[in-house]
């Protein structure tokens, strides 16, 4: 994708910063309407490992950063146990907006459907083309489908 002409509905993206701005303005599926913000991937553009989760959770949606909530603590511990510095990995999600349903005052995670995953695939493809990791690790079924 990097260097290729953009397709219709595909912005020209040459850096992770440009990609984050493009994701923030995304309206490719309805998830943007109820999310606080898009949550772009995070990490060095030279990362050997790209870890892909399902979607941002409540904490990630509020912070605008991936894996900062409960799943992030589990991920951090797993990386520590494996001797891998999180600062050397690129962490992202297959879907960039938090899909949820309200239960009282709480926003509870709701699994993205196939259309939402497919609509967000463009962003994951851009991330892979910019970072060019040697290894992509899908953290769950949604990430593997993306």
Residue 11 lies in a domain: no
Tokens coding 38: 């898009």
User: What would the pLDDT profile of 90-135 be if each residue is shown by its tens digit?
Assistant: 999 999 999 999 999 999 999 999 999 999 999 999 999 999 999 9
Integer Cα distance of 50 and 124 in angstroms: 10
Question: Above 90 in pLDDT, residue 8?
Answer: no
Residue 3 confidence (pLDDT) = 43
Tokens coding 18: 């440009």
Residue 10 confidence (pLDDT) = 59
What is the tally of structural domains in the chain?
1
Residue 141 confidence (pLDDT) = 82
CATH of the domain at 84: 3.40.470.10
Integer Cα distance of 105 and 11 in angstroms: 36
Integer Cα distance of 73 and 83 in angstroms: 15
Domain range for 71 is: 16-145
Angle between helices 114-131 and 16-24 (to 10 degrees): 160
User: What would the pLDDT profile of 26-53 be if each residue is shown by its tens digit?
Assistant: 999 999 999 999 999 999 999 999 999 9
Instruction: Identify the DSSP state of 142.
Output: H
User: What would the pLDDT profile of 59-93 be if each residue is shown by its tens digit?
Assistant: 999 999 999 999 999 999 999 999 999 999 999 99
Integer Cα distance of 42 and 89 in angstroms: 8
Q: How confident is the model at residue 140 (pLDDT cuts 50, 70, 90)?
A: confident
Residue 5 lies in a domain: no
């Amino acid at each position: 994708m990097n260097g290729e002409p953009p397709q219709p509905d595909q912005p020209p993206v040459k850096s992770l910063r440009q990609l984050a701005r493009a994701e923030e303005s995304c309206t490719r599926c309805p998830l943007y309407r109820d999310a606080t913000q898009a949550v772009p991937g995070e990490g060095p553009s030279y990362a050997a490992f790209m870890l892909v989760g399902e979607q941002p959770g409540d904490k990630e949606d509020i912070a605008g950063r991936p894996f900062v909530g409960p799943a992030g603590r589990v991920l951090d511990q797993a990386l520590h146990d494996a001797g891998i510095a999180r600062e050397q990995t690129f962490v992202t999600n297959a879907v960039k907006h938090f899909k949820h349903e309200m239960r009282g005052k709480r926003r509870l995670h709701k699994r993205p459907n196939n259309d939402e995953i497919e609509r967000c695939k463009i962003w994951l493809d851009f991330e892979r083309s910019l970072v060019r990791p040697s290894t992509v690790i899908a953290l769950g079924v949604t990430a593997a489908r993306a």
